[in-house]
Structures are given as structure tokens and as C-alpha cells.
Amino acid sequence: GSSWKLEDHPKLPKGKTIAVVVLDGWGEANPDQYNCIHVAQTPTMDSLKKGAPERWRLVRAHGTAVGLPTEDDMGNSEVGHNALGAGRIYAQGYKCILPTVQLDTRTLQAFLVGLINFDKNSLLKTSAKLVDLALASGKIYEGEGFKYIKECFDKGTLHLIGLLSDGGVHSRLDQLQLLLKGSSENGAKRIRVHILTDGRDVLDGSSVGFVETLEKDLANLRENGIDAQIASGGGRMYVTMDRYENDWGVVKRGWDAQVLGEAPHKFRNALEAVKTLRQEHKTNDQYLPPFVIVDENGKAVGPIVDGDAVVTFNFRADRMVMIAKSLEYENFDKFDRVRVPKIRYAGMLQYDGELKLPSHYLVSPPEIERTSGEYLVHNGIRTFACSETVKFGHVTFFWNGNRSGYFNPSMEEYVEIPSDSGITFNVQPKMKALEIAEKARDAILSRKFDQIRVNLPNGDMVGHTGDIEATVVACKAADEAVKIILDAIEQVGGIYVVTADHGNAEDMVKRNKSGKPELDKSGNIQILTSHTLQPVPIAIGGPGLAAGVRYRKDVPDGGLANVAATVMNLHGFVAPSDYETTLIEVVDN
Ligand code: 3PG
Ligand code: CO
């Protein structure tokens, strides 16, 4: 049925104040010098761990447990917060899993569910998978979005803007390759690619190889009579891919290079650009300054002009919303666009369903409905959510199934603490952890809310910089923030749930199969800026937690999707039957 009413939990009371704390990028790994959580002083998290196995355990946060195609896929904040908030796994990827022999129970289950549901088309799929399916079937070229941009192919240029890597978090190189091929087969005669180099979801320095691969593909297209080239580029954290409106300057730098064809650096080809900027400017892939590719007369080869088509090929939403606004909105005051070309623009997906942004897209986004946040609001739970800008949408937008705004403004309050902008977070590794904790503490003590939900970004945001010393400071700051929140919960007799969305800070080095640091050609360790495959902790406790509550022993492979039902129980409700099972039981004593 479509009822929102949740059944009462047979044993657990209502009315407890619950803090749900998500430590971003906080996994569990063997202790060594590259495990910043181990190196840092984290007395609060250490003390929670002593509650194992009844009140502390690990949950899976990568691969199929969070709906990713394979067990080699590291976790990320989008799928992590989706799973935490929606309480279900976006079953997908069984096709990729099938040829690998190790079918554990969960994989087998996902596979069987996939088979059963496939024809009914009722499988919930993550955005990456929906793009894969649309490309593989060719349906992408029959859709409304592609037909819309195709109108420009006769006279205009097709511009493709996005993250160039195989990280699989925001985009994937193989999807870009298919899109290039498919677009040319479907009428695009002139193509310009505007690349954003990664080094954050993949190793720093890998951009060189990705550019080489792309250049080969473009050369093949040219042999087939398509005028295809890279037109501009820049590092993802400095050009275009800002999120949650932290720093419009980032998007402006992208606009200048991609649309206006203007940038401080000009090169004849992208490979030279990336290599030179890395060496001479000592910047890494994430922060390469913007550059444009110019012809022999010094003229930019691919500014965006009237009559062109533009596609942003990232599937993940958070870092595409701002560029989508700049490309789509007629009224726009975030920076001076100087020249606003009349283009046909489509996103790979629609990035924001509430804003209907962009209005044209190549693939329909996943529908994540009936999330725990929406259920709880219907059942009288007043919610407070808070983080700083760079993770604000994670505990709101992603948590609520990629939906912006409130379900019911009279029941919810979402507070964003402005992040520092224009810096890399190793410079300020404490970030706004203290401020977030204080806001949460005040919300708890006000007794105006039943659930207080926060994201503490430090482990992740500083971990992504690859700066080990700063990441240690970051972990300590996050731990101190947890302490403030737990103290407030203690005061009001509440309950806490402390967990994480995926690993990052607990492992900062690339390792070989036996777990030893893998050295590069010159014998150096390779810093791991990306997330990991590690499980994450979940701790429950607080004076309000009923004495008999403990982790069940029969959910050994529990993952982030099991957390929603657990939290619903602690609020005094039974989770909907299609939710992943709860992690807890109540024993009489
Ligand atoms: C980013 O966007 O910063 C990274 O690609 C992924 O990090 P997140 O999933 O933790 O946001
Ligand atoms: Co991250």
C-alpha cells in the first residue's frame, strides 16, 4: 500500500532524541603509519569501539553492498548516503558480477533479484548503471535529450564537458568513449571535449594516461572524417566541479575556458598541457589551472558559440548542478558570463529533480523513493540536519534520495555552515567540525528535534588531498566533534548512532595484493587520495538506549543500507518490509 504509517516497534519506545553522526571517509583498516585514524588521537571513537560486538561493529560500505557494479568499486558519498537514507540497496551490476566466480550470498541474491525483476524493469539502479544500460542498448540515442541536442549537429559543434577518469564516482572514461562513438554515428560532425582532470578518485598523475587514451579515440574519429579535438581543460577541484555553491569562482574559470575560449594557459595539445602544467606549476591533477587548446594562429579551437550542443557527461549530480545552472539559466548572477551563447544543453542525467535541472538530459535519473527521512517526517519525527557546505547536500540531498529541499518544513531544519573556500583542506584540516558539533549540540539540547543528523567531512576532504600529516589532524578534529555531540546526547538521555559513509583516511597509500605499499618505478610509495574498499564502523549507545539492545549476530555482511531500519527501530518504529533488515535486536534481561 502507499501508507506512510510505520508500525510501532514491539519493544522499543518512542520519544528518544537520536544523534546520527556520519564521519565522512572514516573506514576501519589495519593499523600502520598510513592509517591516519590509527595515528591520530581519537579517544572518543576508540572508546566506542570497546562496545564491540554488541554496540560496535563494522558494516560494508563499498561494492554491491551499496549498489555498485562490482566488489572492486570503492564506496563514495553519493551511494553511501543514498543507502544510509533510503535503507535499500540499489541492486545492480549483476551482469558484471556474473563472469567472476566468487558468488557470495549477497551477490547471488542480488543476481537472482536482478533476474527476477529485470523484465519488470523494477530494479532500482544507480545513475552509473542507468547510463551503462542506455549506452549498451543504444537507447540513449533514441531518447528525448539526444534528439534535442542532435538538432544542432548539422551546423553546430557538439561539446562534451566532464571528468576524465575511470574513477567511476562522477563519470567513467568508457562511457565517454561510447558517447563519442555513438554521437558521431548519430550525426555529430564536429566534436570538442572539455576535460577535467581527476587525481582524486584515481591516483594523481593518472590524467596523462587518460588524455593519451582520449587523444587516440579522437584521432580515430578524425580518420573517419569527424572534426574531433580536446578544446580545454583544468583540474576538477579548480575548474568547474565545485558543489553546493561553495565557490562560484571554480565554475567561472570553467566557463571562461569552455565557453569563452579564454584561459591563462594556452597549448597546442592537451597532453602537452597536462604534462607541462603538472611539472612547471607543480600542481596535481585535481588542481591543474585552466587551459585552452589553440590552433597555429593562437585561436581557441573550441569555444562554445550560438547553435552548438553541449553535454555534461558526469552522471553524479552534486558537482554538476552549478555548471548546469550557468549553462541553462537565463537569469544568472553568480558571475559575469560575458557572452551567453544560444545552445542546446543536455545533462547526462537530470541532476536535480526538484529544480528540473537541466531540463534536457540523455538518461533518466534513478528514482529513489520512500526514503527513511520521508517516512520519519510522516511519523512525527522532527529532524535537524547539518554539515558544512562541502558536505551539506550529502546529509540532505543524497540522504533524501537525491532530492533537494524539505519534505515538511514545519518538521525539519537543515543548517549549512559555510565552508572555507579557495583553499585546499589540508591547510585548514579542522574544517568546521567544531561548528557543526556545536550546532548539533544546541539542536539536541533545545529538545526541539527527535533526530539530529550531521556529516563530519574531515577524514574525507583532507584525506583527498593526500596530505598525511593534515589528515591526522583532521581525524582528531572529527573525533573531538563526536565527543561534543555524545556529551549532549548524554545530557538529554538520548541515543547515538555513529557511523561513516565509506573509507578514506584509514588508508593513504596504494597497496599491492598482500597489503604492502606498492612502489612506483622510482621506488616511491604512491599516495592514495581516493576512497577505499574498507568497511566502516557503526556504534550505538547513549543513556536512552534500552538495556537489551544489541547487534544481531545473523547479519554478518550488513552494510550501510541496514542502518535506516536500525535508526527507525531506535525511534520506536518497525521499518517498511522492503527495507534492508535492521542490525539490532532487543533481548529481555
Ligand atoms: C568528490 O567529489 O570529492 C570525490 O569524487 C568523492 O568524494 P565523496 O563521495 O566523499 O563526496
Ligand atoms: Co570523498
Measure the CA–CA gap between 392 and 245, rounded to whole angstroms. Answer: 10
The Å distance, Cα 519 to ligand 1 centre, comes to 25
Same domain, 340 and 399: no
- 172 is written with which cell numbers? 567513467
Per-residue model confidence (pLDDT) at position 367? 85
Same domain, 432 and 413: yes
Residue 543, preceding bond cis, omega within 30 degrees? Answer: no
Q: Reply yes or no on whether the pLDDT at 112 is more than 60.
A: no
Measure the CA–CA gap between 207 and 285, rounded to whole angstroms. Answer: 6
pTM higher than 0.90, yes or no? yes
CB of residue 460 inside a 6 A radius of ligand 1:
yes
Per-residue model confidence (pLDDT) at position 314? 98
Mutate to test the pocket of ligand 1, among 200, 458, 502 (most ligand atoms within 8 A of CB): 200
Phi/psi at 109 (5° precision): -60, -45
- 355 is written with which cell numbers? 529544480
Question: Which ligand is the nearest neighbour of the Cα of 76?
Answer: 1
Q: Which atom of ligand 1 is nearest to the CA of 501?
A: 10
Q: Is residue 1 part of a domain?
A: no
Q: What is the pLDDT of residues 233-281, one digit of tens each?
A: 999 999 999 999 999 999 999 999 999 999 999 999 999 999 999 999 8
CB of residue 424 inside a 6 A radius of ligand 1:
no
Q: Which atom of ligand 1 is nearest to the CA of 502?
A: 10
Q: Is residue 178 part of a domain?
A: yes
Q: Reply yes or no on whether the pLDDT at 493 is more than 80.
A: yes
Mutate to test the pocket of ligand 1, among 22, 322, 464 (most ligand atoms within 8 A of CB): 464
Q: Of all helices (H) and strands (E), which one includes residue 108?
A: helix 105-118
First-to-final CA distance of the chain: 36
Q: Is residue 266 part of a domain?
A: yes
Q: Which atom of ligand 1 is nearest to the CA of 76?
A: 9
CB of residue 76 inside a 6 A radius of ligand 1:
yes
The Å distance, Cα 531 to ligand 1 centre, comes to 8
Q: How large is the average pLDDT for residues 124-151?
A: 92
Q: Reply yes or no on whether the pLDDT at 8 is more than 80.
A: yes
- 256 is written with which cell numbers? 571562461
Measure the CA–CA gap between 317 and 294, rounded to whole angstroms. Answer: 31
Q: Which of 87, 83, 110 is nearest to 98 (CA)?
A: 110
Q: Is residue 407 part of a domain?
A: yes
CB of residue 242 inside a 6 A radius of ligand 1:
no
Q: How large is the average pLDDT for residues 112-122?
A: 40
CB of residue 150 inside a 6 A radius of ligand 1:
no
- 402 is written with which cell numbers? 537525491
Question: Strands 344-349 and 309-312: what pairing?
Answer: parallel
Same domain, 492 and 477: yes
- Residue numbers annotated as active site: 77
Per-residue model confidence (pLDDT) at position 96? 32
ipTM of the complex as predicted: 0.99
The Å distance, Cα 372 to ligand 2 centre, comes to 23
520: how many CB neighbours lie within 10 A of its CB? 11
Same domain, 395 and 515: yes
CATH number at residue 411: 3.40.720.10
Last residue of a domain, one of 332, 363, 394: 363
Same domain, 174 and 87: no
Amino acid at 88: R
Q: Which residues pair with 310 in a beta bridge?
A: 159, 345
Q: Reply yes or no on whether the pLDDT at 176 is more than 90.
A: yes
Measure the CA–CA gap between 52 and 56, rounded to whole angstroms. Answer: 4
Q: Which atom of ligand 1 is nearest to the CA of 201?
A: 5
Same domain, 312 and 392: no
Burial of 417 (0-12, 13-18, 19+ CB in 10 A): buried
Torsion sign over Cα 538, 42, 399, 446: positive
Q: Reply yes or no on whether the pLDDT at 99 is more than 60.
A: no
Q: Which of 533, 463, 537, 461 is nearest to 499 (CA)?
A: 537
Same domain, 406 and 280: no
Question: Strands 56-59 and 291-293: what pairing?
Answer: unpaired
Measure the CA–CA gap between 548 and 551, rounded to whole angstroms. Answer: 10
CB of residue 201 inside a 6 A radius of ligand 1:
yes
Measure the CA–CA gap between 425 and 24, rounded to whole angstroms. Answer: 14
The Å distance, Cα 166 to ligand 1 centre, comes to 14
Q: Which of 4, 146, 123, 12 is nearest to 582 (CA)?
A: 12
20: how many CB neighbours lie within 10 A of its CB? 28
Measure the CA–CA gap between 341 and 320, rounded to whole angstroms. Answer: 19
304 vs 96, which has greater pLDDT?
304
Measure the CA–CA gap between 147 and 142, rounded to whole angstroms. Answer: 7
Place 580 in a pLDDT band, splitting at 50, 70 and 90.
very high
The Å distance, Cα 165 to ligand 1 centre, comes to 14
Measure the CA–CA gap between 408 and 533, rounded to whole angstroms. Answer: 36
Q: Which residues pair with 439 in a beta bridge?
A: none
Per-residue model confidence (pLDDT) at position 106? 55
The Å distance, Cα 54 to ligand 1 centre, comes to 31
Place 70 in a pLDDT band, splitting at 50, 70 and 90.
confident
Q: What is the pLDDT of residues 217-226, one digit of tens each?
A: 999 999 999 9
Count of structural domains within the chain? 2
Place 116 in a pLDDT band, splitting at 50, 70 and 90.
very low
Per-residue model confidence (pLDDT) at position 2? 65
- 271 is written with which cell numbers? 597532453
Measure the CA–CA gap between 98 and 100, rounded to whole angstroms. Answer: 6
Same domain, 359 and 295: yes
CB of residue 458 inside a 6 A radius of ligand 1:
no
Q: Is residue 2 part of a domain?
A: no
Q: Which atom of ligand 1 is nearest to the CA of 318?
A: 2
Give the residue carrying C-alpha cell 534536457: 360
Last residue of a domain, one of 338, 363, 388: 363
pLDDT over 70 percentage in the chain: 94
Last residue of a domain, one of 363, 385, 409: 363
Measure Cα distances from 563 to 18, 516, 536 in Å: 13, 32, 12
Q: Is residue 6 part of a domain?
A: no
CB of residue 79 inside a 6 A radius of ligand 1:
no
Per-residue model confidence (pLDDT) at position 84? 98
Same domain, 313 and 444: no
Print the domain residue range for 159. 127-363
Measure the CA–CA gap between 582 and 21, rounded to whole angstroms. Answer: 18
Same domain, 351 and 415: no
Question: Strands 265-267 and 451-456: what pairing?
Answer: unpaired
Percentage helix, strand, coil for the chain under 3-state DSSP, each rounded to 5: 35, 15, 50
Q: Is residue 3 part of a domain?
A: no
Question: Which ligand is the nearest neighbour of the Cα of 462?
Answer: 2
Same domain, 75 and 148: no
Same domain, 555 and 572: yes
Q: What is the pLDDT of residues 360-393, one digit of tens each?
A: 999 998 889 999 999 999 999 999 999 999 999 9
Place 123 in a pLDDT band, splitting at 50, 70 and 90.
very low
In contact, 344 and 306? CB cutoff 8 Å: no
Phi/psi at 267 (5° precision): -140, 160
Per-residue model confidence (pLDDT) at position 111? 52
Average pLDDT, the chain: 94
The Å distance, Cα 171 to ligand 2 centre, comes to 14
CATH number at residue 145: 3.40.1450.10
Q: Is residue 9 part of a domain?
A: no
Per-residue model confidence (pLDDT) at position 93? 34
